[in-house]
Amino acid sequence: MKKFTLLSLVLVMALGLFAQVNQRGLRQAFQEKDMSEWVERYNNKADFQQAIKTYGDIYFEDDFSTGTTTSLPTGWSTVDIDANSNNLVWEWTDTGTTGQYGSAPFQSTSNTNGWMMLDSDGAGQATYDAFLYSPSYDLTGRPYVAVVWEEYYRRWGNEAANPYGGNPTHLGVIVDGTDTTEIEIHSTFETGDVTDNPEGVMVNVSLICGGEDNVQFYFRIAGLWDYWWHIDDFKIIEGAGNDLQINETYALSVYQFGTSGFSWFGYYSRLPLSQVTDYFFQADIYNNGVIDQTNAMLTVTVDIDGVYDDEVSDTILIHEVDSLFSYVPAWYTPNGIGTYGATFEVSQDQVEEVPESNVAGPTEWDITTNNIIARDTRWTRALGASLYTGGSDGDLLGVSYFFPNATEANSLSVFIDYRSDVGTIIIGQVYYADTDWILQIESEEHIITQADLGHWIDLPLITIDPTDDDLDAETEYMAAVEMYWGGGDLNCWIGADDEGPHVYSQVTNLRIGQDWFWISDMPMIRMNLAGSTVPPVWTSPTTDTIWVDPSALPVTYDLSLTAMDPNIPALSLMFDTIVMPDFVTGFTDGGSGTATITMTITADDISTYQYTNTGGVDIYNNYGISYYVSNGVEENATYNYFYIFETTLGTSNTEVSEMVIYPNPTTSVINITNVEGASIYVYNVIGELVASVQQAGALSQVDLSANANGTYFVKVVNGNDITTQKINLIK
């Protein structure tokens, strides 16, 4: 066992070396911390309740049971100070949101008593800056104070269209009626991010109002047609005195350039054995208490396939309610192939009040003999150049990779988000780092198909000169995807990972026009080197919509899957039971790259969301499922969300027919074959009926030229047979 104990002074001196070598210069990795660091989140209700009990007494609490639909809970008040006087204020509810993009029922501990809600989606096109004020509290003799609550929040916050620059949310603390401090609650949330339902929140406010005799709190949210914020089970509890917490952990690649210095190249989720570098470790350690912690020690233990391999450590000094990144300056050298796990633990002289928060990890990465290099850990969200202000056709997303040894690039693997539109186009590209990014090699255009959605695809790189695919030693390259979606409302989206232990500012790239930026999401773009085995390819269309007749429930639906690999025909398919919805009743691997998922759908499976429209579709739900195909070396994981719609058009059989719709995408007219005698309905993405045909012929045409560019659903009903297909209109 090797053990290193070095003072932080050594670390500070070493940091000056990190600016060397990187050809573009290192971008600032970590920003100055603010009070948003005081916000602690708990996505497990049991852990949240245990944390409340651990800290000590509950001084005050309110489950909002005294509220009604016409009056707020006792002592609480609300006001909207937005200049447009829309008067969008907080309200008490026991039913939930009313908007088209409403939330699922709030699952707070005391939801049967009602809760507080700001329903921006229900108000629609209205600006607001809404406050929810608590009663005043006397905290005399109570120096350690934390505020806790349960919440369910989703962010829209389109900064380009929002007068408040997003969807800011704050906890406000008012002392003696005038001294006000605001703490941002969802500072790291981006467009579309949503909390768990519910999610526990704890904020230690001891330094602001501990021991004060006149304290009032408020919740503040501002924006323009956003989603919603639910709050319940508000408590003021005894805060922590001694509570160290590890918030973030990092295992980072570091490389020594002879005698000229060294540089670090971020986190890799997997590295080929031929490109392994040393590692060093760092952690964001936060003092959630109000007492300085002395002789704190950060220790990192590394396992390989669960077996202990090594340990490194460093002493640190941590101040009251403070956050710092602590580095372990001793490097770690990986020892062969396997799954590596780094577990972080911090200790101190003081008696820790919540010992479980002193341990984090393991942070894991793989070293393999298969020559694929990657940074992403798992799909968590969609990402596209169109989602950024000024994004247009030809803009790109990229991931930087450093190669200590010379090699060759064969192809790129790209994960296509399930919401991407069929017919949009991507091009895989490899750039090398000079004074700017220089294009070296690219793939042919790839037109997104229905079978690509929710899957990994392979983009072979086209070699014109024999050296085009050469990657030089000790050089940084970028694997990128150039995107084309017609400049309209279509989605050309790939997958992204926003939860991995990444230093985004070092390794992510976004090009808008001629300008380069880094982003706080990891594009799912991997580089396949010479001799690599790439994942199999899915060939079955991705299911995005299932229609069921409520009078025929329960109904059984079979989802057929197919995949292929020309090099390794013996494939196996697997289903992820962890995220399996309850209505999935069977999974059968048919062999040779085929499988069937069987679903038995009941009324409870489609009763979550409701709205009324002219097409007769008024109840729906959406679900995520995950399944895999393996060629024995690599897996192609699918992350697919689909909708189950209830239809009132008398259909009960959801088997796919022989209907053919073309062209797709279309510029105006779609042709539909094998639909004689059927009824045809075309819906937009929000369920509005935009076109219909009754008693269709064997070949029917539908003219969509009067409609806006975008995605549409074509539903064909013929007796008890129903077929639905997604098409794209690009004029």
Q: Tell whether the model's pLDDT for residue 454 goes beyond 50.
A: yes
> Terminal CA-to-CA distance of the chain, rounded, Å?
66
Residues with Cβ within 8 Å of 322's Cβ and at least 6 positions away in sequence, in order, are 286, 287
Eight-class DSSP state of 464 = S
The confidence score (pLDDT) of residue 411 equals: 97
CA–CA gap between residue 385 and residue 15 (Å, rounded): 34
Instruction: Tell me the Cα Rg of the chain.
Output: 28
> 657-731 in CATH: which number?
2.60.40.1930
CB distance 215 to 172 below 8 Å: no
With CA atoms as reference, report the closest residue to 209 among 168, 177, 234. Answer: 177
* Chain segment 512-530, per-residue pLDDT in tens: 999 999 998 999 999 999 9
Same fold, 246-369 and 373-534: no
Please state the rounded mean pLDDT for residues 471-487.
94
Please state the rounded mean pLDDT for residues 669-695.
83
Q: Tell whether the model's pLDDT for residue 13 goes beyond 80.
A: no
Structure token digits, residue 654: 């959801």
Domain boundaries along the sequence of the chain: 57-238, 246-369, 373-534, 657-731
* Chain segment 72-126, per-residue pLDDT in tens: 999 999 999 999 999 999 999 999 888 767 777 899 999 999 999 999 988 888 8
Report in angstroms the alpha-carbon separations of 256 from 287, 331, 502.
33, 11, 21
Angle in degrees, CA 403, 407, 409, rounded to 5? 95
Report in angstroms the alpha-carbon separations of 315 from 8, 285, 322, 482, 727.
7, 12, 16, 46, 60
Report in angstroms the alpha-carbon separations of 274 from 96, 223, 371, 401.
55, 50, 8, 14
Eight-class DSSP state of 669 = E
Longest Cα–Cα distance in the chain? 82
* Chain segment 165-211, per-residue pLDDT in tens: 778 999 999 999 988 999 999 988 877 788 999 999 999 898 899 99
Q: Tell whether the model's pLDDT for residue 30 goes beyond 70.
A: no
Specify which residues 689 forms β-bridges with.
683
For 274-310, the DSSP string reads GG--EEEEEEEEEE-SSS-EEEEEEEEEEEETTEEEE
Q: How would residue 34 be classed by pLDDT, with cut points 50, 70 and 90?
A: low
**What proportion of the chain, given as a percentage, has pLDDT over 70?**
85
Exposure string over 356-368, b if 16+ CB within 10 A, otherwise e: ebbebbbbebbbb
Please state the rounded mean pLDDT for residues 627-643.
83
Q: Tell whether the model's pLDDT for residue 345 goes beyond 90.
A: yes
Neighbours of 685 (CB within 10 A): 12
What is the distance of C-alpha 401 from the center of its chain? 22
> 373-534 in CATH: which number?
2.60.120
Please state the rounded mean pLDDT for residues 296-321.
82
With CA atoms as reference, report the closest residue to 305 among 278, 276, 336. Answer: 336
Beta pairing class for 545-548 and 635-646: parallel
Specify whether domain 246-369 bears CATH 3.30.1340.30.
no
Q: How would residue 613 be classed by pLDDT, with cut points 50, 70 and 90?
A: very low
180: amino acid identity, one letter:
T
* Chain segment 528-550, per-residue pLDDT in tens: 999 999 999 988 877 666 766 67
Into which CATH architecture does domain 57-238 fall? Sandwich (2.60)
Residue 591 phi/psi, 5-degree rounding, is 80, 160
Specify which residues 546 forms β-bridges with.
644
Eight-class DSSP state of 704 = -
Q: What is the pTM of this model?
A: 0.73
* Chain segment 383-425, per-residue pLDDT in tens: 999 988 889 999 999 999 999 999 999 999 999 998 898 889 9
Q: How would residue 657 be classed by pLDDT, with cut points 50, 70 and 90?
A: very low
The confidence score (pLDDT) of residue 320 equals: 59
What is the distance of C-alpha 4 from the center of its chain? 37
The confidence score (pLDDT) of residue 22 equals: 28
Give the 3-state secondary structure percentages of the chain, helix then strand then coil, rounded to 5: 10, 50, 45
* Chain segment 228-260, per-residue pLDDT in tens: 999 999 999 998 888 888 888 999 999 999 877
Q: Tell whether the model's pLDDT for residue 665 goes beyond 60.
A: yes
Neighbours of 455 (CB within 10 A): 26
Q: In a 3-state reduction of DSSP, which class is residue 186?
A: coil
Q: Which of 146-155, 433-442, 551-560, 584-593 has the lowest mean pLDDT?
A: 551-560
Which H/E stretch holds residue 10? Answer: helix 8-15
